[in-house]
Structure 1
């Protein structure tokens, strides 16, 4: 049986694990792009040939969810910012997630409004756009990125035909990039594009393979050590918590690389920090566990987001284990010892293949009831809260992430014995439920407006949470509904 960690070791370990969780969140922006070299070269060349060289054109990017389409495009667009600024003409960059458009016919007004910077009436929108895109005297080129462009499909496809036609017309000032899942969108739904000679350039992102997923995970793991730091142990900062917030980076240069120096603001002061040395440091997640995760995800969907979610959940499992060791050793978490620098990386990987196997067993091939049964208390509470909202006796509007958070906080207060987690931790709970296939999260303009649906049967949910007395009391209305 391994020896219990000292308070100092425990604090450093927990801080490292919590920092790692931040880097494996879906919203965490990596310091560099890993893999997809061919696809990135195509996108970069398209941006240079069309946006920078003042030549209108269109590109359609396809690929299944989690293949890096949108993330790659946005990162490369930012990295071409210097070339955009040095171009001999102004470039107006617009990005719209078409899932946020209520109806395809409302799209024109949204696009015109975003370009001119003030509301444009729906009845005037098409004329305004044609003036913006087809005026021979206009110098500004519009670079428009439309994510989830298949949301604009209509019976006659008039909106999509118009969009892909504009870049081919004389004096056009539009460079268009559309993104969607379907590989055959242009051939299947827009067959007349070829006859009109309006076909966009095509680029497909294939699902990630095992080496690519493993390489991206390993890159994030390297960043865990290089970007992790704790405040120095000086008298002025002796009261600083041992578990710091995620350090904010100073920024990125034109190359996209993160500045090596990092600052942390403490009570209005900025203290320089130095990352842990990578020399002889074991990976936070041991290599066989990374490879197992990559193989499982690649065999299932190739969705990188799911791989990152699984790694984060494995890190959480290791964090829970370390907390249990601290409690068993009687170490107080209320007054943690201040770490002494220079800190040393852990002697062994903190996340083992055992942690990874437990998460993978839940994520793949486990019956719904067993999946729910394996959730922690807070995850079960969020799931039950969603079910109560969607299947309760009162008819309500659609459930969004924001409404679910409010309902969850209300449930915690109603129990009087459960404290709600922070909003960021709440988002992690919902993301975990999504990775297990227990909820689905839609797209929206803002995070809080993303729609939540529940593919789980109420009867299965009620059966799976009977071992938790507090939650069992909450689901009484659901059991009455399912009778």
Structure 2
């Protein structure tokens, strides 16, 4: 029997449709600006049984306070961040001199993360550009264009030249623009007299031979002031502290001398000054209760937050996060009250040290052993001395700070003097302050005392157990000597 005739693919199946080929366009790897994002759509109203609730209630005092500590919050009327007045003055003087004299120039800003490098630069430029619209601004009598580029968004260091070129001249068909194209553009006549380029995260432009950075700073040297029609002023920002030692010497050996500005980590007093000034602005706004209004955070809570952040990182952003979360914690508790939306600075529950401690614990970790491991050797030694004194002492009342120092001099020092040397009284008090900030000890004021008490007379109690201290010191012979002496 014959098999049935099979269909042939050529006659019975439809021909596949082919997509029309489109010519490729030369597009930027990094767009000129962030793409325009569509508005956020709330789809809950489209789901059966759900409806969108509109909230027309007035912002609570806690919402206003939290907005002060949101990252990116700026005041366009200020020229300097609190605690960064000196750095702002140096940067402002650099820009003013460069623009007024119409010369090429460069400055390299370095410092650890969270020290206000980018925030201070943006704040000052926003202030200088606030009275003019469009791309060209009249700054210090000079027609100036300002470009701000985060180098982290650039795929290859060499693309920075194309990025700058397209920002100045618009999109160009064909190949990517190089340093020579950018140099030619700056050499030709233009409406702008000066160009300020902020290169944030500049260490992303580092190459093996550092040629990209060298070419950029070469353009911004005083030697090019008579050649370039558009005077280039570079403000380079980087977290890499060693870039100063690796990069600047090569520039200087070739006759280029960029200025250098270093942002140091915030101290506890500087962080306290920033946080207090932000909270004080709420008091100034509350005109109805000007006489009775107080800060939303208790001074001791502020102090704890600032000391903790200064000890661990010196990062101001971390302090802002802790303040924000602490205020949010109190807000959640206060929402149980019927008069929540009528609360003012005068009667609203305040952020206490317990709230800040809870947030700090979740932020920096709550392990006692981790707290001990984060201490340096001298801090661990004093903590071991405290545990040793408590173990040997027959007294039920806790030691004072002065009493602990006396114990250290008479009992601990003879055991470790050859290895650690003697800790002077001033250094000892600094260590006690650091231990308190690290939440490894508690300083308490005796009930009988009144008024302000000297730190030396305060009672000192360990905040970590003897067992944890013993565990963390088992591999460090000198600490075990102190602990078991």
Is the TM-score greater than 0.5? yes
| Cα-to-partner distance string for 1:270-312 (whole Å, 9 max, x where unaligned) | xxxxx55432311101111001100000011110000000000
Which residue in the other structure is 2:346 paired with? 346
Task: Please tell me whether the aligned partners of residues 60 and 341 of structure 2 are also in contact (alpha carbons under 8 angstroms).
Answer: no
Q: Does 1:148 align with 2:196?
A: no
SS in 2 for 1:96: strand
Which residue in the other structure is 1:361 paired with? 361
Select the residue among 304, 323, 329 that pairs with 1:292.
Answer: 304
Which residue in the other structure is 2:106 paired with? 58
Deviation at 1:120, TM superposition (A): 6.5
Q: Does 1:177 align with 2:235?
A: yes
SS in 2 for 1:124: coil
SS in 2 for 1:123: coil
Which residue in the other structure is 2:160 paired with? 107
CA gap of 1:86–1:150, structure 2 versus 1, over 3 A, is: closer
Listed as ranges, the matches of 1:26-425 within 5 Å are 26-30=71-75, 32=78, 33-81=81-129, 85=138, 87-119=140-172, 122-135=175-188, 140-168=193-221, 169=224, 170-172=226-228, 173-189=231-247, 191-227=249-285, 276-323=288-335, 325-326=336-337, 331=338, 345-347=345-347, 350-366=350-366
Deviation at 1:198, TM superposition (A): 1.3
SS in 2 for 1:104: coil
Task: Please tell me whether the aligned partners of residues 142 and 175 of structure 1 are also in contact (alpha carbons under 8 angstroms).
Answer: yes
Q: Does 1:17 align with 2:17?
A: no
CA distance in 2, matches of 1:92, 1:128: 19
CA distance in 2, matches of 1:196, 1:215: 43
Deviation at 1:344, TM superposition (A): 5.1
Task: Please tell me whether the aligned partners of residues 143 and 191 of structure 2 are also in contact (alpha carbons under 8 angstroms).
Answer: no
Task: Please tell me whether the aligned partners of residues 87 and 261 of structure 2 are also in contact (alpha carbons under 8 angstroms).
Answer: yes
Deviation at 1:132, TM superposition (A): 2.7
Task: Please tell me whether the aligned partners of residues 90 and 140 of structure 1 are also in contact (alpha carbons under 8 angstroms).
Answer: yes
Task: Please tell me whether the aligned partners of residues 134 and 171 of structure 1 are also in contact (alpha carbons under 8 angstroms).
Answer: yes
SS in 2 for 1:175: strand
SS in 1 for 2:273: helix
Flag structure 1 segments of 5+ consecutive residues without an equivalent: 1-10, 229-274, 371-483
Task: Please tell me whether the aligned partners of residues 151 and 200 of structure 2 are also in contact (alpha carbons under 8 angstroms).
Answer: yes
CA distance in 2, matches of 1:12, 1:279: 26
Mean Cα deviation higher: 128-137 or 202-211:
128-137
| Cα-to-partner distance string for 1:386-417 (whole Å, 9 max, x where unaligned) | xxxxxxxxxxxxxxxxxxxxxxxxxxxxxxxx
Give me the TM-score of the superposition, normalised by structure 1. Answer: 0.57
Which residue in the other structure is 1:431 paired with? none
Deviation at 1:182, TM superposition (A): 1.8
CA distance in 2, matches of 1:276, 1:131: 61
CA distance in 1, matches of 2:362, 2:317: 17
Q: Aligned-pair RMSD on alpha carbons?
A: 2.9
Which of 1 and 2 has higher RCO (CA within 8 Å, sep 6+)? 1
Aligned residues: 301
Deviation at 1:90, TM superposition (A): 1.8
CA gap of 1:107–1:43, structure 2 versus 1, over 3 A, is: same
Deviation at 1:136, TM superposition (A): 7.2
CA distance in 1, matches of 2:340, 2:276: 31
Which residue in the other structure is 1:235 paired with? none
CA distance in 2, matches of 1:27, 1:86: 24
CA gap of 1:223–1:358, structure 2 versus 1, over 3 A, is: same
CA gap of 1:16–1:165, structure 2 versus 1, over 3 A, is: same
CA distance in 2, matches of 1:121, 1:52: 38
Task: Please tell me whether the aligned partners of residues 133 and 142 of structure 1 are also in contact (alpha carbons under 8 angstroms).
Answer: no
| Cα-to-partner distance string for 1:236-290 (whole Å, 9 max, x where unaligned) | xxxxxxxxxxxxxxxxxxxxxxxxxxxxxxxxxxxxxxx5543231110111100
CA gap of 1:337–1:165, structure 2 versus 1, over 3 A, is: closer
Task: Please tell me whether the aligned partners of residues 334 and 349 of structure 2 are also in contact (alpha carbons under 8 angstroms).
Answer: no
CA distance in 1, matches of 2:145, 2:298: 45
Deviation at 1:118, TM superposition (A): 3.1
Deviation at 1:86, TM superposition (A): 5.5
Deviation at 1:186, TM superposition (A): 3.4
Deviation at 1:360, TM superposition (A): 1.0
Work out which of the two has the higher radius of gyration on C-alpha atoms and give 1 or 2.
2
CA distance in 1, matches of 2:91, 2:269: 22
Mean Cα deviation higher: 169-178 or 58-67:
169-178
